């Protein structure tokens, strides 16, 4: 059973265009059922989740607790319905209130009148119950109430955030036309700053103004709660406020900040041509406690040289004519910015936020991505550049590039065409889902038996063992044709191409190191998680792509729950569970190599502390001896294992029934076991089917890139049968 029904409903407001980002953020903070609407996100969660949103949301403006919603059929309905709300459970007559009334209708066409009627309803009820009435304080109220009417429906909410959450408390001085803090965070997220943090890249703003982009970027990198400096929240005087819970969260935030600042070693720099503006910037950075971590200098854009860091993000919000001058006067500025990027920032990522796309074109660069956002009421675009080659240079290169002369065999052409066809089929799904690691080809043409996976810009080709009817000579010829096809296809990708021969494995040979040289690793993302993959040392990369939907399912189940990951490998499922708000995670495996890898995955996602544990143990033996209970268990054993580290041989078809029963003994009441295996001829044990509710959900766990191979894995959802006395 889920806990959703016991959760409180909440509403987080945000600037228009930030809704999807806010959904992901709230979900990471432990929210259930987060659903976007225009400039807001509805979600469910405990009081702790709402407090965490107030303290940790980098994107929200306000956190509201909806109290009542009703249709307005006549003007008197506003007073009567608001008078019926049990205000006395939220505040007393000794406290002050303020009413924010938004929207008009044919019955209430004046917001001041609407606010007055709501105030009358509230004070009349409190006076009737307590004999006194609360005062109205529009500037610094103890309790703030929001009333919104839209299309005849009125929604009444308690504002537990108080002043807008975008005000972090560090910005006392500002230059001309600064962007708000939560918009700055949205720009950083859309520009890929979290992934660059994981790669230890730099952050640079050549027109930093008041320093908002730099400060918010540093706070993200140092794991600093955006609300940690705020002295006041809307729930401070709320009668249902849990001061002890709030203090616990604040103490945790201070601990995380101390650890984050101690480990913050990124190169974060800001420049501006206006020395007067930099005086404000220095003060803001000092207020944020980041003066040891952000460097500033007075420097015009055309004096920029090559950065010292090999990779990083250049993100800036230059003027765009609406606020600081005529468009014609700004053309040279954008041209200089484009020239600097082309000359000195190859290998970097850049993003320009502008309210004038025509000015953006003056950079002579082609954006890889574009995002529509609003700066206040001004519609703007975030232009993201991953290639600093100018448009004119690209055109010239195409004109000068001779047509390929190497002839592709019929087989190579057939494979290349299939790769292109598969890519076209997946493109829309990949764009909508944001997935960058996926399976492109899986022996679609049986004679060319390889699996081809894409990891961002890298291509990973795994050869399957040919059947005995195929000679070694023919197998080598076909693999050579595959290499020719992949080489032609890889022109669309900037990363390397890796080749591995893959045979049916016995025991733990699947996990044996293949290379003694330097490891070729890469950081990739899956949703909001960051994982290390290894292309050189093992047959598998450390991330099973077919289990992506299973990890999503686990994330949907674990908020506030205890999670156990058996045969955890590199603990990707545990990382997703932790990011989704699991109360605790325990990941068990017998390989020190993979447990060390799992720890690196936890570290990449800033998941520290005693809640998330790794344990080296034989899972079969551990299940027999331990008595700890868990709410969600992921059981993903190998098909066969005779590892010397294990006390017995594991054959999944023979042993899965006993393994499931041992795991179910560790499952708390109402809990869920997710059982997965990769044995293509697997059949569930009849006794297990009689003992438990066993739901085969394999079809639901195949994303678009794996539907061609429905036997890639088996996944079962297993729960206890209800018993009646």
3.40.50.300, 3.40.640.10, 3.40.50.150, 3.30.1490.20: CATH of 521-720: 3.40.50.150
Q: How far apart are CA 328 and CA 129, in angstroms?
A: 65
Q: How far apart are CA 234 and CA 548, in angstroms?
A: 39
Give the single-character DSSP code of 3.
S
pLDDT digits (tens, 9 = 90+) for 137-167: 999 999 999 999 988 899 999 999 999 999 9
- Average pLDDT (467-493) is 87
pLDDT band for 500, please (50, 70, 90 cuts): confident
Fold of 4-159: VC0802-like (3.30.2130)
pLDDT digits (tens, 9 = 90+) for 27-46: 999 999 999 999 999 999 99
Cα maximum dimension of the chain: 96
pLDDT digits (tens, 9 = 90+) for 184-240: 999 999 999 999 999 999 999 999 999 999 999 999 999 999 999 999 999 999 999
The pTM for the full model equals 0.58
How would you write 164-213 as a 3-class SS string?
CCCCCCCCCCCCCCCCCHHHHHHHHHHCCHHHHHHCCCEEEECCCCCCHH
Contact assessment for residue 439 and residue 706, using Cβ atoms and an 8 Å cutoff: yes
- Average pLDDT (239-244) is 97
**Phi/psi of residue 678, each to 5°?**
-115, 15
pLDDT of 325 higher than 50: no
Q: How far apart are CA 508 and CA 570, in angstroms?
A: 15
Of the candidates 187, 180, 205, the residue with the CA atom closest to the CA atom of residue 372 = 187
pLDDT band for 506, please (50, 70, 90 cuts): very low
- Average pLDDT (488-495) is 88
177: left (phi over 0), alpha (psi -120 to 50) or beta: left
pLDDT over 90, % of the chain: 72
> How many helices (H) and strands (E) in the chain?
20, 30
- Average pLDDT (663-675) is 96
| Residue extents of the structural domains in the chain | 4-159, 181-231+240-394, 410-503, 521-720
Q: How far apart are CA 365 and CA 76, in angstroms?
A: 59
**What sign does the CA torsion over 90, 94, 96, 101 have?**
positive
- Give every CB contact of residue 446 below 8 A, 6+ residues apart in sequence: none
Q: How far apart are CA 393 and CA 399, in angstroms?
A: 10
Could you give the angle at which helices 243-263 and 47-56 cross, rounded to 10 degrees? 40
Please tell us whether the domain made up of 410-503 is placed in CATH 3.30.750.80: yes
4-159 shares its CATH topology with 521-720: no
For the domain spanning 181-231+240-394, the CATH number is 3.40.50.150
- According to the model, what pLDDT value does residue 178 have? 79
- According to the model, what pLDDT value does residue 519 have? 75
Q: How far apart are CA 61 and CA 167, in angstroms?
A: 9
pLDDT of 642 higher than 80: no
Of 61 and 173, which is predicted with more confidence? 61
Q: How far apart are CA 56 and CA 699, in angstroms?
A: 37
Could you give the angle at which helices 19-28 and 181-190 cross, rounded to 10 degrees? 90
- Give every CB contact of residue 376 below 8 A, 6+ residues apart in sequence: none
Beta bridge partners of 566: 588, 635
Q: How far apart are CA 70 and CA 148, in angstroms?
A: 11
pLDDT of 581 higher than 60: yes
């Amino acid at each position: 059973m889920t806990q959703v029904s016991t959760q409180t409903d909440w509403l987080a407001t945000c600037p228009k265009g930030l809704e999807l980002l806010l959904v992901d953020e709230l979900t990471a903070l432990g929210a259930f059922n987060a659903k976007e609407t225009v400039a807001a996100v509805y979600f469910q969660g405990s009081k702790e989740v709402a407090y965490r949103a107030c303290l940790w949301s980098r994107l929200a403006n306000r956190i509201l607790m909806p109290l009542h919603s009703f249709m307005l059929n006549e003007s008197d309905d506003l007073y009567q319905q608001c008078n019926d709300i049990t205000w006395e459970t939220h505040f007393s007559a000794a406290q002050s209130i303020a009413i924010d009334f938004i929207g008009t209708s044919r019955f209430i066409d004046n917001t001041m009148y609407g606010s007055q009627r709501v105030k009358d309803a509230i004070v009349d009820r409190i006076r009737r119950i307590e004999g006194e009435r609360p005062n109205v304080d529009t500037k610094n109220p103890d309790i703030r109430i929001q009333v919104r009417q839209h299309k005849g429906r009125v929604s009444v909410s308690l504002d537990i955030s108080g002043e807008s959450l975008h005000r972090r408390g560090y910005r006392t001085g500002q230059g001309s036309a600064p962007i708000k803090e939560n918009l700055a965070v949205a720009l950083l997220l859309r520009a890929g700053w979290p992934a660059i943090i994981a790669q230890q890249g730099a952050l640079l703003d050549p027109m930093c103004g008041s320093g908002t982009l730099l400060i918010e970027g540093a706070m993200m990198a140092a794991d600093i709660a955006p609300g940690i400096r705020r002295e006041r929240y809307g729930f401070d005087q709320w009668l249902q406020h849990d001061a002890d819970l709030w203090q616990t969260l604040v103490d945790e935030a201070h601990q995380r900040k101390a650890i984050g600042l101690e480990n913050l070693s990124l190169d974060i720099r800001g420049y501006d041509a206006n020395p007067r503006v930099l005086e404000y910037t220095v003060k803001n950075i000092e207020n944020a406690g980041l003066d040891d971590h952000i460097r500033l200098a007075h420097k015009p854009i055309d004096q920029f040289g090559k950065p010292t860091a090999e990779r990083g993000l250049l993100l800036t919000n230059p003027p765009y004519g609406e606020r600081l001058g005529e468009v014609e006067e700004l053309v040279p500025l954008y041209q200089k910015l484009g020239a600097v990027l082309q000359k000195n920032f190859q290998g970097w990522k850049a993003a320009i936020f502008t309210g004038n796309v025509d000015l953006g074109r003056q950079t002579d660069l082609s954006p890889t991505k574009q995002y529509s956002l609003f700066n206040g009421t001004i519609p703007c675009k975030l232009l993201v550049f991953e290639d600093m080659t100018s448009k004119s240079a690209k055109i010239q290169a195409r004109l000068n590039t001779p047509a390929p002369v190497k002839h592709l065999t019929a087989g190579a052409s057939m494979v290349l065409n299939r790769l292109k066809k598969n890519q076209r089929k997946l493109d829309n799904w990949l764009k909508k889902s944001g997935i960058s690691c996926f399976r492109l080809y899986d022996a679609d043409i049986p004679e060319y038996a390889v699996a081809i996976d894409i990891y961002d810009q890298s291509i990973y080709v795994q050869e399957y063992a040919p059947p005995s009817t195929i000679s070694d000579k023919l197998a080598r010829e076909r693999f050579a044709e595959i290499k020719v096809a992949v080489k032609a296809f890889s022109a669309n990708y900037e990363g390397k191409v890796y080749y591995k021969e893959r045979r049916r494995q016995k025991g733990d040979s699947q996990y044996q190191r293949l290379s003694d040289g330097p490891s070729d690793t890469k950081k990739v993302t899956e949703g909001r998680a960051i994982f290390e993959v290894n292309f050189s040392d093992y047959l598998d990369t450390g991330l099973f792509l077919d289990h992506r939907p299973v990890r999503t399912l686990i994330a949907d189940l674990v908020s506030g729950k205890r999670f156990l990951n058996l045969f955890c490998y590199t603990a990707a499922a545990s990382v997703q569970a932790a990011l989704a708000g699991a109360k605790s995670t325990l990941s068990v495996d017998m390989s020190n190599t993979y447990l060390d890898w799992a720890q690196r995955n936890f570290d990449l996602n800033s998941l520290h502390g005693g809640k998330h544990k790794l344990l080296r143990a034989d899972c079969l033996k551990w299940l027999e001896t331990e008595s700890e209970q868990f709410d969600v268990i992921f059981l993903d054993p190998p098909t066969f294992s005779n590892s010397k580290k294990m006390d017995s041989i594991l054959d999944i078809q023979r042993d899965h029934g006993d393994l499931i029963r041992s795991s179910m003994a560790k499952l708390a009441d109402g809990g869920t076991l997710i059982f997965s295996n990769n044995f293509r001829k697997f059949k569930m044990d009849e006794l297990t089917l009689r003992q438990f509710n066993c739901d085969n959900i394999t079809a639901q766990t195949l994303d678009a890139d794996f539907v061609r191979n429905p036997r890639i894995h088996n996944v079962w959802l297993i729960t206890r049968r209800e018993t009646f006395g």
